[in-house]
Amino acid sequence: MVAAIATRALPLVDLTSLNDADDVASTAALCAKAVTPAGNVAAVCLWPEFVAQAKHALMGTGIRVATVVNFPGGSLPAEKVVDQIARALADGAEEIDIVMPYGAIMVGQGGDQRAADHLAACRAACGAATMKVILESGSLAKPALIERAARVAVDAGADFLKTSTGKVPAGATPGAARIMLEASRAAGRPVGFKASGGIRDVETAGQYLALADEICGPGWVSPARFRFGASGLLDAILAVLGHGPAAVTSAGY
């Protein structure tokens, strides 16, 4: 059972490193790690300044290159975020993980519209690139706020709803995942889900896969619709599959 979950989870991983100390050497190591004896991950997710390096290193592997903008606080003005997106796309990014201005959702009184306008500008800037919107569900905390944020993101054109930056104390939770998966199901168009922040073992990954199966149907999960944003999870997956020690770390977050 655990091996089956590991096999299923491996191609769904966005192998992530967003550390202050990341550099050319750590980026090369991350890209090498993304190609495993058991199969490749879905994507690597790293700082914008390493997108071009990763794109070159992963050429021909089928592994996508993702980066983050408006990260981690979600507080930059839309024009600066649009510029970040343009630069990342020019360097070869295929997926953009955007922190929505979730503080506006928490304030209310027109905040939803401000967040919607911000994300609409980001959507236009992303063009055909995959736009994953980070709700920062751990900071929103209340189910009603998470539901509102998810609705704003979907209406603004999000391709994925993502739980967390991993930079706040509370990352992904099953409760937040349920709300976001229900929003994906109700979207009326394909909207994926990315669980990120604190997912480090195969058993926990299995809980999120089971939730997706329950809410969206057993045939819904695929790399085009479901991702795990993680670093240590890959080590745990490979250990279960017989390809290395269970070296579970929190390096990527």
Tell me which residue of 213, 205, 208, 207 sits closest to 234, measured CA to CA. Answer: 205
CB neighbour burial string for 174-210, b if at least 16 within 10 angstroms, e if fewer: eebbbbbbbbbeebeeebbbbbbbbbbbbebbbebbe
Strand partners, 85: none
Residue 77, both tokens:
């003005």
Q: Is 30 exposed, middle or buried (0-12, 13-18, 19+ CB in 10 A)?
A: buried
Strand partners, 64: 43
Element (H, E) at 73: none
Residue positions annotated with a catalytic role: 97, 162, 194
Tell me which residue of 152, 230, 146 sits closest to 187, measured CA to CA. Answer: 152
CB 154 within 8 A of CB 168: no
Look at phi and psi of residue 13 and say left if phi exceeds 0, alpha if psi is from -120 to 50, else beta: beta
